[in-house]
Chain A
Amino acid sequence: MESTIVSAENINAYYGDNHAIKNVNIKINRNEVVAMMGPSGCGKTTFLRCINRMHELIPNARAEGVMKLDGEDVYKMNAIYVRSKIGMVFQRPNPFPNLSIYENVIAGYLLNGISLPKAEKDVIVEKSLTSAALWKEVKDSLHKKGTFLSGGQQQRLCIARAIAMKPEVILFDEPTSALDPISTSSVEALFHELKANYTLIIVTHNMQQAARVSDRTAFFYLGELVEFDDTKIMFTNPKDQRTQNYITGRFS
Protein backbone atom coordinates (compact mmCIF):
# COMPACT_ATOMS: atom_id res chain seq x y z
CA MET A 1 0.00 0.00 0.00
CA GLU A 2 1.52 3.30 -1.04
CA SER A 3 1.12 6.19 1.34
CA THR A 4 1.51 9.87 0.67
CA ILE A 5 4.34 11.56 2.52
CA VAL A 6 4.55 14.96 0.86
CA SER A 7 1.49 16.61 -0.52
CA ALA A 8 1.26 20.06 -2.02
CA GLU A 9 -2.15 21.68 -2.28
CA ASN A 10 -2.60 24.78 -4.40
CA ILE A 11 0.96 25.98 -3.90
CA ASN A 12 1.68 29.42 -5.34
CA ALA A 13 5.04 31.07 -4.94
CA TYR A 14 6.11 34.62 -5.71
CA TYR A 15 9.35 36.55 -5.96
CA GLY A 16 8.05 40.03 -5.39
CA ASP A 17 5.54 40.44 -8.23
CA ASN A 18 6.85 37.53 -10.21
CA HIS A 19 4.47 34.59 -9.98
CA ALA A 20 7.00 31.74 -10.03
CA ILE A 21 4.84 28.74 -9.07
CA LYS A 22 1.27 28.57 -10.26
CA ASN A 23 -1.17 26.52 -8.31
CA VAL A 24 0.78 23.29 -8.06
CA ASN A 25 -0.87 20.18 -6.63
CA ILE A 26 1.20 17.05 -6.20
CA LYS A 27 1.24 13.98 -3.99
CA ILE A 28 4.49 12.12 -3.41
CA ASN A 29 4.55 8.63 -1.96
CA ARG A 30 6.79 7.21 0.70
CA ASN A 31 9.99 5.57 -0.58
CA GLU A 32 9.69 6.69 -4.13
CA VAL A 33 12.10 8.62 -6.27
CA VAL A 34 10.48 11.58 -7.94
CA ALA A 35 12.29 13.57 -10.58
CA MET A 36 11.31 17.13 -11.39
CA MET A 37 12.39 18.30 -14.78
CA GLY A 38 11.77 21.28 -16.96
CA PRO A 39 13.57 24.08 -18.71
CA SER A 40 15.57 26.67 -16.77
CA GLY A 41 13.41 29.09 -14.86
CA CYS A 42 10.36 26.82 -14.88
CA GLY A 43 10.12 26.87 -11.10
CA LYS A 44 11.29 23.37 -10.26
CA THR A 45 13.96 24.53 -7.82
CA THR A 46 11.61 27.12 -6.34
CA PHE A 47 9.04 24.41 -5.75
CA LEU A 48 11.66 22.16 -4.14
CA ARG A 49 12.63 24.96 -1.77
CA CYS A 50 8.99 25.50 -0.90
CA ILE A 51 8.90 21.95 0.45
CA ASN A 52 11.43 22.54 3.25
CA ARG A 53 10.81 26.29 3.47
CA MET A 54 14.24 27.21 2.15
CA HIS A 55 12.45 29.72 -0.09
CA GLU A 56 12.03 31.89 3.01
CA LEU A 57 15.74 32.68 2.88
CA ILE A 58 15.32 34.58 -0.35
CA PRO A 59 14.25 38.19 0.24
CA ASN A 60 10.80 38.96 -1.23
CA ALA A 61 9.95 35.29 -1.77
CA ARG A 62 6.72 33.94 -0.36
CA ALA A 63 4.62 30.84 -0.82
CA GLU A 64 0.89 30.28 -0.41
CA GLY A 65 -1.07 27.08 -0.18
CA VAL A 66 -0.76 24.00 1.96
CA MET A 67 2.37 21.84 2.00
CA LYS A 68 1.97 18.72 4.08
CA LEU A 69 4.56 16.34 5.43
CA ASP A 70 2.94 13.21 6.84
CA GLY A 71 -0.37 15.05 6.93
CA GLU A 72 0.97 18.00 8.92
CA ASP A 73 1.13 21.50 7.52
CA VAL A 74 4.79 22.37 6.99
CA TYR A 75 4.08 26.09 6.96
CA LYS A 76 2.60 25.90 10.44
CA MET A 77 5.49 23.89 11.88
CA ASN A 78 8.74 25.33 13.16
CA ALA A 79 11.06 25.79 10.15
CA ILE A 80 13.96 24.30 12.09
CA TYR A 81 11.96 21.13 12.75
CA VAL A 82 10.82 20.93 9.14
CA ARG A 83 14.39 21.09 7.87
CA SER A 84 15.51 18.34 10.21
CA LYS A 85 12.77 16.10 8.76
CA ILE A 86 13.41 17.08 5.16
CA GLY A 87 17.09 16.97 4.23
CA MET A 88 18.54 18.82 1.30
CA VAL A 89 21.48 18.36 -1.04
CA PHE A 90 22.52 21.29 -3.19
CA GLN A 91 23.73 21.88 -6.70
CA ARG A 92 27.32 22.43 -5.69
CA PRO A 93 28.84 20.28 -2.96
CA ASN A 94 29.02 22.46 0.14
CA PRO A 95 30.73 20.63 3.00
CA PHE A 96 31.66 22.88 5.91
CA PRO A 97 35.27 23.87 5.24
CA ASN A 98 36.05 24.36 8.93
CA LEU A 99 34.98 20.83 9.89
CA SER A 100 36.54 17.41 9.35
CA ILE A 101 34.80 14.68 7.38
CA TYR A 102 33.64 13.14 10.64
CA GLU A 103 32.31 16.44 11.96
CA ASN A 104 30.67 17.22 8.64
CA VAL A 105 28.58 14.06 8.83
CA ILE A 106 27.28 14.89 12.29
CA ALA A 107 27.20 18.63 11.58
CA GLY A 108 23.44 18.68 12.07
CA TYR A 109 23.92 17.57 15.66
CA LEU A 110 27.11 19.52 16.33
CA LEU A 111 25.78 22.82 15.08
CA ASN A 112 22.49 22.38 16.87
CA GLY A 113 24.36 21.78 20.10
CA ILE A 114 22.99 18.26 20.52
CA SER A 115 25.68 16.28 22.32
CA LEU A 116 25.82 12.56 21.68
CA PRO A 117 28.03 9.95 23.32
CA LYS A 118 31.13 9.15 21.26
CA ALA A 119 29.96 5.61 20.51
CA GLU A 120 26.66 6.86 19.12
CA LYS A 121 28.41 9.47 17.00
CA ASP A 122 30.72 6.78 15.61
CA VAL A 123 27.73 4.66 14.67
CA ILE A 124 25.93 7.54 12.98
CA VAL A 125 29.05 8.53 11.04
CA GLU A 126 29.77 5.00 9.83
CA LYS A 127 26.15 4.28 8.94
CA SER A 128 25.62 7.55 7.12
CA LEU A 129 28.87 7.31 5.19
CA THR A 130 28.12 3.70 4.31
CA SER A 131 24.67 4.68 3.05
CA ALA A 132 26.25 7.42 1.01
CA ALA A 133 28.74 4.88 -0.44
CA LEU A 134 31.66 6.87 0.89
CA TRP A 135 32.74 4.89 3.95
CA LYS A 136 35.31 2.72 2.21
CA GLU A 137 37.00 5.71 0.60
CA VAL A 138 37.27 7.91 3.67
CA LYS A 139 37.34 5.58 6.66
CA ASP A 140 41.07 6.17 7.17
CA SER A 141 40.90 9.92 6.81
CA LEU A 142 37.83 10.80 8.84
CA HIS A 143 39.61 13.60 10.62
CA LYS A 144 40.84 15.37 7.54
CA LYS A 145 38.95 18.38 6.29
CA GLY A 146 35.98 17.57 4.06
CA THR A 147 37.08 20.03 1.41
CA PHE A 148 40.09 17.87 0.48
CA LEU A 149 37.79 15.31 -1.12
CA SER A 150 36.99 15.29 -4.83
CA GLY A 151 33.79 16.94 -6.03
CA GLY A 152 31.89 13.66 -6.25
CA GLN A 153 33.10 12.59 -2.82
CA GLN A 154 32.14 15.96 -1.39
CA GLN A 155 28.65 15.61 -2.80
CA ARG A 156 28.33 12.15 -1.26
CA LEU A 157 29.58 13.64 2.00
CA CYS A 158 26.78 16.18 1.77
CA ILE A 159 24.34 13.32 1.20
CA ALA A 160 25.75 11.54 4.27
CA ARG A 161 25.32 14.76 6.22
CA ALA A 162 21.66 14.88 5.22
CA ILE A 163 21.14 11.18 6.00
CA ALA A 164 22.71 11.54 9.45
CA MET A 165 19.79 13.68 10.57
CA LYS A 166 17.47 10.71 9.87
CA PRO A 167 15.14 12.68 7.64
CA GLU A 168 12.06 11.22 5.98
CA VAL A 169 12.51 13.04 2.72
CA ILE A 170 15.69 14.18 0.98
CA LEU A 171 15.54 16.95 -1.60
CA PHE A 172 18.19 17.10 -4.29
CA ASP A 173 18.65 20.35 -6.19
CA GLU A 174 20.44 19.37 -9.42
CA PRO A 175 22.86 17.30 -7.34
CA THR A 176 25.09 16.23 -10.20
CA SER A 177 25.21 19.34 -12.35
CA ALA A 178 28.59 20.34 -10.93
CA LEU A 179 30.07 16.83 -11.12
CA ASP A 180 32.00 14.91 -13.74
CA PRO A 181 30.40 11.83 -15.40
CA ILE A 182 32.04 9.28 -13.10
CA SER A 183 31.01 11.12 -9.95
CA THR A 184 27.57 11.58 -11.45
CA SER A 185 27.10 7.87 -11.96
CA SER A 186 28.24 7.13 -8.42
CA VAL A 187 25.68 9.57 -7.06
CA GLU A 188 22.97 8.19 -9.32
CA ALA A 189 23.71 4.65 -8.21
CA LEU A 190 23.23 5.88 -4.69
CA PHE A 191 19.66 6.99 -5.36
CA HIS A 192 18.62 3.38 -5.91
CA GLU A 193 20.01 2.38 -2.53
CA LEU A 194 18.60 5.33 -0.64
CA LYS A 195 15.11 4.64 -1.95
CA ALA A 196 14.69 1.78 0.51
CA ASN A 197 14.71 4.14 3.49
CA TYR A 198 13.94 7.59 2.22
CA THR A 199 11.75 9.46 -0.17
CA LEU A 200 13.84 11.27 -2.74
CA ILE A 201 12.81 14.31 -4.71
CA ILE A 202 15.33 15.23 -7.36
CA VAL A 203 15.35 18.37 -9.44
CA THR A 204 17.25 17.84 -12.65
CA HIS A 205 17.57 19.54 -16.00
CA ASN A 206 18.95 16.34 -17.40
CA MET A 207 16.18 14.23 -18.94
CA GLN A 208 18.30 11.11 -19.20
CA GLN A 209 19.00 11.35 -15.52
CA ALA A 210 15.32 11.67 -14.72
CA ALA A 211 14.65 8.60 -16.86
CA ARG A 212 17.44 6.60 -15.24
CA VAL A 213 16.81 7.24 -11.59
CA SER A 214 13.17 8.05 -10.94
CA ASP A 215 9.96 6.12 -10.40
CA ARG A 216 7.79 9.05 -11.28
CA THR A 217 8.58 12.26 -13.09
CA ALA A 218 7.04 15.69 -12.89
CA PHE A 219 7.35 18.17 -15.72
CA PHE A 220 7.29 21.87 -14.87
CA TYR A 221 6.84 24.58 -17.43
CA LEU A 222 6.52 28.32 -16.79
CA GLY A 223 5.68 27.75 -13.16
CA GLU A 224 3.00 25.16 -13.80
CA LEU A 225 3.09 21.47 -13.10
CA VAL A 226 2.23 20.25 -16.57
CA GLU A 227 2.26 16.54 -16.05
CA PHE A 228 3.16 14.06 -13.32
CA ASP A 229 3.17 10.36 -14.05
CA ASP A 230 5.21 7.17 -14.04
CA THR A 231 8.58 7.89 -15.54
CA LYS A 232 8.09 5.23 -18.23
CA ILE A 233 4.82 6.74 -19.35
CA MET A 234 6.23 10.25 -19.25
CA PHE A 235 9.05 9.33 -21.59
CA THR A 236 7.14 7.06 -23.92
CA ASN A 237 3.60 8.28 -23.97
CA PRO A 238 3.16 11.72 -22.41
CA LYS A 239 -0.36 13.08 -22.44
CA ASP A 240 0.44 16.74 -22.74
CA GLN A 241 1.78 18.23 -25.94
CA ARG A 242 4.20 20.46 -23.99
CA THR A 243 5.76 17.44 -22.28
CA GLN A 244 6.14 15.75 -25.62
CA ASN A 245 7.78 18.83 -27.09
CA TYR A 246 10.19 19.04 -24.19
CA ILE A 247 11.31 15.43 -24.18
CA THR A 248 11.71 15.36 -27.90
CA GLY A 249 13.94 18.38 -27.63
CA ARG A 250 11.74 20.90 -29.39
CA PHE A 251 12.58 23.39 -26.65
CA SER A 252 14.75 23.33 -23.63
Chain B
Amino acid sequence: MEAKIGFRTATSLIFKGVIILFAFAIAIPLIVILFYIIRQGVTQVNWTFLSHVPAPVGEKGGGVLNALAGSFILVLMSSVIAIPVGMMAGIYLSENPKTRLAYYAGLCVDILQGVPSIVMGIVVYFWIVKPLGTFSAISGSVALAIMMLPIIIRSTEQTLKMLPDSLKEAALSLGVPYHKVILKVIVPCGFAGILSGITLSIARVIGETAPLLFTAFGNPYVSGHIARPMESLPHLIFTYATSPYDDWHNLAWGASFILLMFVLVLNIVTKVITRKWKVQL
Protein backbone atom coordinates (compact mmCIF):
# COMPACT_ATOMS: atom_id res chain seq x y z
CA MET B 1 0.00 0.00 0.00
CA GLU B 2 2.70 2.42 1.06
CA ALA B 3 4.73 1.66 -2.02
CA LYS B 4 1.69 2.51 -4.12
CA ILE B 5 1.28 5.86 -2.42
CA GLY B 6 4.92 6.56 -3.08
CA PHE B 7 4.40 5.72 -6.73
CA ARG B 8 1.41 8.03 -6.96
CA THR B 9 3.26 10.91 -5.36
CA ALA B 10 6.12 10.36 -7.73
CA THR B 11 3.91 10.38 -10.83
CA SER B 12 2.21 13.53 -9.57
CA LEU B 13 5.58 15.18 -9.19
CA ILE B 14 6.68 14.08 -12.63
CA PHE B 15 3.47 15.38 -14.17
CA LYS B 16 3.90 18.71 -12.42
CA GLY B 17 7.49 18.85 -13.60
CA VAL B 18 6.44 18.19 -17.18
CA ILE B 19 3.85 20.96 -17.30
CA ILE B 20 6.29 23.41 -15.74
CA LEU B 21 8.87 22.39 -18.33
CA PHE B 22 6.48 23.05 -21.19
CA ALA B 23 5.44 26.38 -19.68
CA PHE B 24 9.11 27.36 -19.92
CA ALA B 25 9.43 25.76 -23.34
CA ILE B 26 6.92 28.13 -24.93
CA ALA B 27 9.28 30.98 -24.19
CA ILE B 28 12.13 29.36 -26.12
CA PRO B 29 10.99 30.19 -29.69
CA LEU B 30 10.39 33.77 -28.66
CA ILE B 31 13.78 34.06 -27.00
CA VAL B 32 15.51 32.52 -30.02
CA ILE B 33 13.72 34.88 -32.44
CA LEU B 34 14.47 37.88 -30.29
CA PHE B 35 18.09 36.91 -29.86
CA TYR B 36 18.65 36.28 -33.56
CA ILE B 37 16.93 39.40 -34.79
CA ILE B 38 18.50 41.63 -32.18
CA ARG B 39 21.96 40.25 -32.97
CA GLN B 40 21.53 40.73 -36.71
CA GLY B 41 19.45 43.84 -36.63
CA VAL B 42 20.63 46.06 -33.82
CA THR B 43 23.96 46.78 -35.50
CA GLN B 44 22.17 48.09 -38.58
CA VAL B 45 20.09 50.62 -36.73
CA ASN B 46 21.56 54.08 -36.51
CA TRP B 47 20.50 57.58 -37.44
CA THR B 48 21.29 57.16 -41.15
CA PHE B 49 19.24 53.97 -41.15
CA LEU B 50 16.22 55.79 -39.76
CA SER B 51 16.55 58.96 -41.80
CA HIS B 52 17.48 57.77 -45.30
CA VAL B 53 15.81 55.81 -48.05
CA PRO B 54 17.50 52.61 -49.27
CA ALA B 55 20.70 53.13 -51.20
CA PRO B 56 21.25 51.47 -54.58
CA VAL B 57 23.14 48.18 -54.58
CA GLY B 58 26.83 48.67 -54.02
CA GLU B 59 26.52 52.01 -52.28
CA LYS B 60 27.15 52.22 -48.56
CA GLY B 61 24.58 53.58 -46.14
CA GLY B 62 20.92 53.92 -46.89
CA GLY B 63 18.00 53.25 -44.58
CA VAL B 64 14.34 52.46 -44.35
CA LEU B 65 12.74 55.87 -43.90
CA ASN B 66 10.35 55.18 -46.79
CA ALA B 67 9.10 52.02 -45.11
CA LEU B 68 8.87 53.59 -41.65
CA ALA B 69 6.85 56.53 -42.93
CA GLY B 70 4.78 54.24 -45.14
CA SER B 71 3.93 51.81 -42.35
CA PHE B 72 2.97 54.70 -40.13
CA ILE B 73 0.65 56.21 -42.74
CA LEU B 74 -0.85 52.84 -43.68
CA VAL B 75 -1.60 51.91 -40.07
CA LEU B 76 -2.97 55.37 -39.35
CA MET B 77 -5.34 55.24 -42.31
CA SER B 78 -6.48 51.70 -41.62
CA SER B 79 -7.11 52.66 -37.97
CA VAL B 80 -9.20 55.61 -39.09
CA ILE B 81 -11.30 53.23 -41.17
CA ALA B 82 -11.44 50.26 -38.80
CA ILE B 83 -11.82 51.85 -35.36
CA PRO B 84 -15.16 53.63 -35.83
CA VAL B 85 -16.68 50.82 -37.89
CA GLY B 86 -15.42 48.13 -35.53
CA MET B 87 -16.52 49.93 -32.37
CA MET B 88 -19.99 50.66 -33.72
CA ALA B 89 -20.47 47.08 -34.85
CA GLY B 90 -19.17 45.85 -31.49
CA ILE B 91 -21.62 48.11 -29.67
CA TYR B 92 -24.48 46.76 -31.76
CA LEU B 93 -23.48 43.16 -31.05
CA SER B 94 -23.25 43.72 -27.31
CA GLU B 95 -26.47 45.73 -27.14
CA ASN B 96 -28.64 43.49 -29.31
CA PRO B 97 -27.20 40.00 -28.90
CA LYS B 98 -30.44 38.19 -29.70
CA THR B 99 -31.38 39.72 -33.02
CA ARG B 100 -30.99 37.90 -36.31
CA LEU B 101 -28.72 40.68 -37.55
CA ALA B 102 -26.42 40.17 -34.57
CA TYR B 103 -26.29 36.45 -35.28
CA TYR B 104 -25.29 36.90 -38.89
CA ALA B 105 -22.97 39.82 -38.16
CA GLY B 106 -21.23 37.72 -35.50
CA LEU B 107 -20.91 34.87 -37.96
CA CYS B 108 -19.38 37.22 -40.53
CA VAL B 109 -16.88 38.47 -37.97
CA ASP B 110 -15.79 34.92 -37.20
CA ILE B 111 -15.43 34.06 -40.87
CA LEU B 112 -13.60 37.30 -41.59
CA GLN B 113 -11.14 36.44 -38.86
CA GLY B 114 -10.33 33.21 -40.65
CA VAL B 115 -9.87 34.68 -44.13
CA PRO B 116 -6.19 34.31 -45.13
CA SER B 117 -4.51 37.68 -45.43
CA ILE B 118 -3.34 36.98 -48.98
CA VAL B 119 -6.96 36.49 -50.01
CA MET B 120 -7.79 39.82 -48.44
CA GLY B 121 -5.07 41.37 -50.60
CA ILE B 122 -6.44 39.82 -53.80
CA VAL B 123 -9.99 40.91 -53.01
CA VAL B 124 -8.92 44.49 -52.38
CA TYR B 125 -6.83 44.35 -55.54
CA PHE B 126 -9.98 43.65 -57.55
CA TRP B 127 -12.07 46.12 -55.56
CA ILE B 128 -9.81 49.12 -55.57
CA VAL B 129 -6.48 48.67 -57.35
CA LYS B 130 -7.98 47.52 -60.66
CA PRO B 131 -10.69 50.18 -60.92
CA LEU B 132 -8.22 52.92 -59.97
CA GLY B 133 -5.58 51.50 -62.27
CA THR B 134 -2.73 51.87 -59.79
CA PHE B 135 -1.33 50.38 -56.62
CA SER B 136 -2.06 52.77 -53.78
CA ALA B 137 -1.66 53.34 -50.08
CA ILE B 138 -5.41 53.68 -49.74
CA SER B 139 -6.02 50.18 -51.08
CA GLY B 140 -3.40 48.81 -48.68
CA SER B 141 -5.12 50.57 -45.79
CA VAL B 142 -8.48 49.09 -46.73
CA ALA B 143 -6.98 45.60 -46.77
CA LEU B 144 -5.36 46.15 -43.35
CA ALA B 145 -8.55 47.75 -41.97
CA ILE B 146 -10.58 44.67 -42.90
CA MET B 147 -8.05 42.57 -41.03
CA MET B 148 -8.32 44.81 -37.98
CA LEU B 149 -12.12 44.73 -37.89
CA PRO B 150 -12.75 41.31 -36.32
CA ILE B 151 -10.37 42.00 -33.43
CA ILE B 152 -11.84 45.43 -32.69
CA ILE B 153 -15.44 44.21 -33.03
CA ARG B 154 -14.98 41.23 -30.75
CA SER B 155 -12.98 43.09 -28.10
CA THR B 156 -15.55 45.91 -28.01
CA GLU B 157 -18.39 43.43 -27.80
CA GLN B 158 -16.78 41.32 -25.06
CA THR B 159 -15.78 44.33 -22.99
CA LEU B 160 -19.18 45.96 -23.12
CA LYS B 161 -20.96 42.70 -22.36
CA MET B 162 -19.05 42.49 -19.09
CA LEU B 163 -20.46 45.79 -17.87
CA PRO B 164 -23.48 45.41 -15.59
CA ASP B 165 -26.90 46.44 -16.94
CA SER B 166 -27.36 48.50 -13.79
CA LEU B 167 -25.01 51.11 -15.26
CA LYS B 168 -27.22 51.59 -18.27
CA GLU B 169 -30.31 51.67 -16.06
CA ALA B 170 -28.73 54.30 -13.83
CA ALA B 171 -28.10 56.58 -16.79
CA LEU B 172 -31.48 55.98 -18.42
CA SER B 173 -33.27 56.63 -15.12
CA LEU B 174 -31.69 60.09 -15.09
CA GLY B 175 -33.40 60.85 -18.38
CA VAL B 176 -30.25 60.47 -20.44
CA PRO B 177 -31.05 59.56 -24.07
CA TYR B 178 -29.86 56.20 -25.34
CA HIS B 179 -27.04 57.39 -27.58
CA LYS B 180 -25.53 59.42 -24.75
CA VAL B 181 -25.84 56.49 -22.38
CA ILE B 182 -23.77 54.43 -24.80
CA LEU B 183 -21.24 57.10 -25.73
CA LYS B 184 -20.77 58.75 -22.34
CA VAL B 185 -21.26 55.91 -19.88
CA ILE B 186 -20.94 52.49 -21.48
CA VAL B 187 -18.04 53.16 -23.85
CA PRO B 188 -15.94 55.15 -21.32
CA CYS B 189 -16.43 52.40 -18.74
CA GLY B 190 -15.20 49.81 -21.21
CA PHE B 191 -12.54 52.04 -22.68
CA ALA B 192 -9.54 50.05 -21.44
CA GLY B 193 -10.82 46.87 -23.04
CA ILE B 194 -11.70 48.56 -26.31
CA LEU B 195 -8.36 50.35 -26.48
CA SER B 196 -6.42 47.19 -25.81
CA GLY B 197 -8.34 45.53 -28.64
CA ILE B 198 -7.34 48.40 -30.90
CA THR B 199 -3.65 48.23 -30.02
CA LEU B 200 -3.68 44.46 -30.45
CA SER B 201 -5.25 44.81 -33.87
CA ILE B 202 -2.56 47.34 -34.84
CA ALA B 203 0.14 44.97 -33.63
CA ARG B 204 -1.52 42.28 -35.70
CA VAL B 205 -1.59 44.17 -39.01
CA ILE B 206 1.62 46.16 -38.82
CA GLY B 207 3.58 43.03 -39.68
CA GLU B 208 1.25 41.88 -42.47
CA THR B 209 2.96 41.54 -45.84
CA ALA B 210 0.53 39.51 -47.89
CA PRO B 211 -2.35 41.99 -48.15
CA LEU B 212 0.09 44.74 -49.15
CA LEU B 213 1.74 42.81 -51.98
CA PHE B 214 -0.94 43.70 -54.52
CA THR B 215 -2.25 46.85 -52.88
CA ALA B 216 0.25 49.30 -51.40
CA PHE B 217 2.91 47.46 -53.37
CA GLY B 218 6.07 49.35 -52.40
CA ASN B 219 8.02 52.47 -53.22
CA PRO B 220 11.75 53.15 -53.00
CA TYR B 221 11.08 56.77 -52.02
CA VAL B 222 9.29 58.47 -49.15
CA SER B 223 5.77 59.19 -50.31
CA GLY B 224 2.84 60.83 -48.62
CA HIS B 225 0.52 60.40 -51.58
CA ILE B 226 -2.20 58.01 -50.58
CA ALA B 227 -3.30 57.31 -54.16
CA ARG B 228 0.23 56.18 -55.09
CA PRO B 229 2.19 53.06 -54.12
CA MET B 230 3.73 53.18 -50.66
CA GLU B 231 6.46 51.19 -48.96
CA SER B 232 5.92 49.43 -45.65
CA LEU B 233 8.25 47.66 -43.23
CA PRO B 234 7.04 44.09 -43.85
CA HIS B 235 7.01 44.60 -47.61
CA LEU B 236 10.53 46.04 -47.50
CA ILE B 237 11.71 43.06 -45.48
CA PHE B 238 10.09 40.70 -47.98
CA THR B 239 11.67 42.29 -51.05
CA TYR B 240 15.09 42.92 -49.57
CA ALA B 241 15.44 39.60 -47.80
CA THR B 242 14.71 37.75 -51.04
CA SER B 243 17.21 39.83 -52.99
CA PRO B 244 20.69 38.44 -53.73
CA TYR B 245 22.61 41.36 -52.17
CA ASP B 246 24.19 41.38 -48.70
CA ASP B 247 23.62 45.13 -48.22
CA TRP B 248 19.93 44.61 -48.75
CA HIS B 249 19.87 41.62 -46.44
CA ASN B 250 21.28 43.86 -43.76
CA LEU B 251 18.59 46.47 -44.40
CA ALA B 252 15.98 43.72 -44.03
CA TRP B 253 17.49 42.63 -40.70
CA GLY B 254 17.42 46.18 -39.40
CA ALA B 255 13.84 46.64 -40.53
CA SER B 256 12.87 43.33 -38.87
CA PHE B 257 14.39 44.56 -35.66
CA ILE B 258 12.40 47.78 -35.77
CA LEU B 259 9.19 45.97 -36.62
CA LEU B 260 9.71 43.52 -33.79
CA MET B 261 10.39 46.30 -31.29
CA PHE B 262 7.25 48.04 -32.46
CA VAL B 263 5.10 44.96 -31.88
CA LEU B 264 6.72 44.36 -28.49
CA VAL B 265 6.10 47.93 -27.39
CA LEU B 266 2.49 47.78 -28.59
CA ASN B 267 1.92 44.59 -26.61
CA ILE B 268 3.42 46.10 -23.49
CA VAL B 269 1.35 49.26 -23.94
CA THR B 270 -1.75 47.08 -24.20
CA LYS B 271 -0.94 45.38 -20.92
CA VAL B 272 -0.33 48.69 -19.20
CA ILE B 273 -3.57 50.16 -20.56
CA THR B 274 -5.67 47.27 -19.35
CA ARG B 275 -4.13 47.49 -15.92
CA LYS B 276 -4.08 51.25 -15.43
CA TRP B 277 -7.27 52.37 -17.08
CA LYS B 278 -9.48 49.58 -16.00
CA VAL B 279 -12.55 51.06 -14.41
CA GLN B 280 -13.24 49.77 -10.90
CA LEU B 281 -16.82 48.51 -10.91
Interface set of A (CB-CB < 8 Å, partner B): 52, 54, 57, 59, 80-84, 87-88, 90, 92, 94-98, 107-108, 110-113, 145, 147-148, 158, 161-162, 165
Q: Give, as a whole number of angstroms, the nearest-CB distance from B101 to chain A.
A: 15
Give which listed residue, A107, A147, A148, contacts B174 with CB less than 8 A.
A107
Residues of B within 8 A of A81 (CB): 175
| B171, B174, B281 interface centre (most CB from chain A within 10 Å) | B174
Q: Are B176 and A96 in contact (CB under 8 A)?
A: no
Q: Is the CB of A145 within 8 A of B170?
A: no
Using A98-B279, A112-B176 as known contacts, list a sample of 6 further A-B pairs with CB atoms less than 8 Å apart, ordered by residue number in A.
Answer: A59-B98, A80-B176, A83-B172, A90-B166, A90-B173, A108-B176
B181 within 8 A of A: yes
- A97 and B174 contacting across the interface, CB-CB below 8 Å: no
Specify which chain B residues have a CB less than 8 angstroms from the CB of A158 in the assembled complex. 170
User: Is B180 within 8 A of A113, CB to CB?
Assistant: yes
Q: Mark B161-179, 1 if CB is under 8 A from A, else 0.
A: 0001011111111111100
In the bound complex, do residue A80 and residue B175 qualify as a contact, i.e. CB atoms below 8 Å apart?
Answer: yes
Interface size on B, residues (CB 8 A): 24
Q: Mark B24-56, 1 if CB is under 8 A from A, else 0.
A: 000000000000000000000000000000000
Q: Quick check: A161 and B174 within 8 Å, CB to CB? A: yes
Report yes or no: A107 in contact with B175, Cβ–Cβ below 8 A: no
Query: Taking chain A's interface residues, is the majority helix, strand, or loop, or is none over half, making it mixed?
Result: helix
Bound Cα distance from A162 to B175, whole angstroms: 10
Q: Quick one: which of B164, B174, B180 contacts A83, CB cutoff 8 A? A: B174
Q: Are A165 and B174 in contact (CB under 8 A)?
A: yes
Pick from B182-190, B247-255, B264-272 the stretch touching chain A: B182-190
Q: Is there contact, CB below 8 Å, between B180 and A90?
A: no
Q: How far in angstroms is the closest Cβ of chain A from B278?
A: 10
**Minimum distance in angstroms from B38 CB to a CB of chain A:** 40
- What's the least CB distance linking B110 to chain A, in Å? 25
CB neighbours (8 Å) of B281 from chain A are: 97, 147
Residues in chain A near residue B164, CB distance under 8 A: 94
What is the distance, in angstroms, from A107's C-beta to the closest C-beta of chain B? Answer: 6
Among A57, A92, A95, A97, the residue within 8 A (CB) of B172 is A57
State A107–B167 Cα separation when bound (angstroms): 12
Beyond A111-B185, A113-B180, whether A94 also contacts B172 by CB under 8 A is no
Q: Which residue of B lies closest to A93 (CB)?
A: B166
In-complex Cβ contact of A92 among B166, B171, B173, B189 (8 A): B166
CB-defined contacts of A54 to chain B, threshold 8 Å: 169, 172-173
In the bound complex, CA of A88 to CA of B169 (Å): 9
The 4 tightest CB contacts between A and B, nearest first, are: A84-B175, A88-B173, A83-B175, A108-B174
Inter-chain CA distance A57–B191, complex, in Å, is: 24
B177: nearest chain-A partner, CB-CB: A80
Whose C-beta in chain A lies nearest to the C-beta of B191? A98
Choose among A92, A98, A112 the residue that contacts B175 (Cβ–Cβ < 8 A). A112
A147 touches B280 (CB 8 A): yes
Point out the residues of chain A lying under 8 angstroms from B191, CB to CB: 98
Our pick among A96, A98, A111, A148 for the contact of B180 (Cβ within 8 Å) is A111
Q: Which residues of A contact B168 (CB under 8 A)?
A: 57
CA distance A112 to B180 in the complex (A): 7
Name the B residues within 8 Å of A147 (CB-CB): 279-281
